[in-house]
């Protein structure tokens, strides 16, 4: 998704990079939790949350297609 003003701020870009890393880690962790837990309900929840984090990652990653930093 293009940046509304054509250019991202340096802060936005650093924050985005940091947050993409967080969402990616969470997706991995929740998948791991799903494999480790015994209760099917909890497993299902962990799997669903892992997918959701992955979706968030993909959605936010679209913003990296923006212009050069200020």
Partner 1 sequence: MRGDQVTDKNLCMALINQMKWDAACLTQRIVECDDEHLRQDYINVLNRTFAEQKQAYNYANQQGWHQPMLAEQSMINQVQSDTQKMANEIQQSMMTMHRQAQSQAIQTPQQQMMNMGQGMGMGTFQSYNMPAMGNQQNYGGIPQQYYR
By CB under 8 A, residue 51 contacts partner 1 = no
Round to whole Å and give the CA distance between 8 and 12: 6
- The full DSSP string for 37-68 is ---HHHHHHHHHHHHHHHHHHHHHHGGGSS--
Instruction: Kindly tell me which residue out of 17, 22, 28, 69 binds partner 1, with binding defined by CB under 8 A.
Output: 22
Task: Enter the tokens of residue 4.
Answer: 């509304």
Task: Enter the tokens of residue 12.
Answer: 């936005």
By CB under 8 A, residue 20 contacts partner 1 = no
By CB under 8 A, residue 69 contacts partner 1 = no
Q: Could you list the residues that contact partner 1 (CB under 8 A)?
A: 1, 3-5, 8-9, 11-12, 15-16, 19, 22-23, 26, 29-30, 33, 36-39, 41-42, 45-46, 48-49, 52, 56, 59-60, 63, 66
């Amino acid at each position: 998704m293009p940046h509304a003003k054509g250019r991202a701020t340096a802060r936005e870009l650093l924050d985005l990079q940091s947050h993409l890393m967080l969402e990616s880690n969470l997706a991995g962790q929740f998948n791991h939790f799903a494999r480790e837990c015994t209760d099917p309900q909890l497993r299902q929840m962990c799997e669903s949350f892992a997918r959701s984090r992955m979706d968030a990652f993909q959605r936010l990653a679209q913003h990296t297609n923006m212009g050069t930093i200020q």
